[in-house]
Amino acid sequence: MQRMAGLGRSLVFPPEGGVSVAKLLCFQLARFLHTGLPVLAAKERLVKLRKKTGYSFVNCKTALEKFGGDLKEAEAWLHEQAQKEGWSKVSKLEGRKTKEGLIGLLKEGNSAVMVEVNCETDFVARNAKFQHLVQQVAVGTMQHHQGTTEQLSTYAKRFLKTSELSQLRLGPDGSLLSDQLALTIGKLGENMIIKRATWVSVPENFFIGSYVHGAPPAGNPLLSNMMFGKYGALVICSPSEPCQKSDFAELGWRLGQHVVGMAPLSVGSLEDEPGGDSETKMLAQPYLLDPSVSLGQYVQPTGVSVLDFVRFECGEDIEMTEAE
C-alpha cells in the first residue's frame, strides 16, 4: 500500500495490479473540486451580499443559510430585520436630545431644497450613513414638489415639518422617509429626527443664491450633488435684465454667505437707511465682507433685486410657518 500527501489529505493507493495511480489521482482530484466549488461560490455570494447591503458578515451568512443561498430573498430579509431593529431602537431612544446634525442643500434646475436632520453627537453627523439620510430627505422633498414648477410668474416657497416629511416616499420601492430614518437609527444607535425642509422654485428669469457653512470633510462620491453644513441659506433674486444664471453664481454665493453670517429677519428695501450691527433688515445691514457699505449699496450696482431668503441653523429652536 502506498500513501501520498496532497490536497489536504493522504491519498491511498492499492498495491500494483490494482487501480492505477494516475486513475486514482484523477478520481481524488475530481472529488475535491466537486466538494470545493460550492464552498467558493458560497463565499462569493456572502461577499457580494455584504458589499451590496453593508450589513455584517455574520448577519449576511445567517440570511444566506436561511434562504439556501438565494441572494434576493436574503437581502429582503436583512432589510426587514434591520428595519424592525431600527424601529425598536427608535422607541428606546425617543426623548434623547438631538441638537447636533446637518443642514443639507440640493439644487436642481430652477429649484432648490434645504433640509435639517438632527442627531445626538457631531461624531454621527460626520458619518456617511447619516449624510446619506440627509440626502434622502432632500431628494424626497424635491421629488414631492416635482410638477408644481410649471408656468411660474414669480417664485414659490414651501416649508415641510417633521410630520409631513416622515410620510414622504422615496425611490422606486416607495419606501417612507420614516422607515429610512429607523434604518439609520438602527445602524448608528443614536436618536435622530428629520426636523424640517424648505423647497424653493423660481421662473427662468430669476436665480437662487445658496451657501452652507461648517461643512464636514468631503469624501463620499455618492453625495457629490449635496452641500452639507451647520448653517445654510437660500436667497431668491431677480435680475433687472435677462441673463445667464452662471453670471450671478458668485453674487448668489455672497448673498447667501451674508444671510448666514448676519442672520437678518426680513429683506427690507433699498430705501432703508443703513443700520449698525443690530440691524435686522437684510439690505440695511452692514455688508458682511465690507462693513463700510450696506448690503443694499453693495447689491444695487448689479441691477439685482433681492426678493426673499431662507436661513437654517442646525439645532435652533424655531416655529416654522409656510410662506409663498
Print the domain residue range for 121.
101-313
Among 27, 62, 93, give the residue marking a domain's end.
Answer: 93
In terms of average pLDDT, the best of 41-50, 172-181, 291-300 is 291-300
pLDDT in tens, 252-286: 999 999 999 999 999 999 999 999 999 999 999 99
Q: Residue 95, Cβ neighbours under 10 Å: how many? A: 8
Check if the beta carbon of residue 157 is closer than 8 Å to that of residue 230: no
**Rounded-to-integer distance, Cα 258 and Cα 247, Å:** 19
Q: How confident is the model at residue 173 (pLDDT cuts 50, 70, 90)?
A: confident
My answer on whether 23 and 136 are in the same domain is no
Q: Average pLDDT, stretch 187-215?
A: 92
My answer on whether 63 and 174 are in the same domain is no
**Rounded-to-integer distance, Cα 11 and Cα 264, Å:** 85
In a domain? residue 77: yes
Q: Position of cell 445602524?
A: 187
My answer on whether 71 and 190 are in the same domain is no
Integer CA distances (angstroms), 66 to 38, 70, 80, 189, 274, in order: 16, 9, 14, 26, 71
My answer on whether 71 and 105 are in the same domain is no
My answer on whether 196 and 215 are in the same domain is yes
My answer on whether 140 and 240 are in the same domain is yes
My answer on whether 40 and 132 are in the same domain is no
Instruction: Name the CA dihedral angle for 286, 292, 293, 294, rounded to a multiple of 10 degrees.
Output: 10
- Domain total for the chain? 2
Among 61, 93, 125, give the residue marking a domain's end.
Answer: 93
pLDDT averaged over the chain? 81
**Rounded-to-integer distance, Cα 93 and Cα 74, Å:** 28
CATH number at residue 239: 3.30.479.20
My answer on whether 55 and 173 are in the same domain is no
CATH number at residue 51: 1.10.8.10
Distance between alpha carbon 130 and the CA centroid of its chain, in Å?
A: 7
Q: Is 4 helix (H, G, I), strand (E, B) or coil?
A: strand
In a domain? residue 154: yes
My answer on whether 191 and 254 are in the same domain is yes
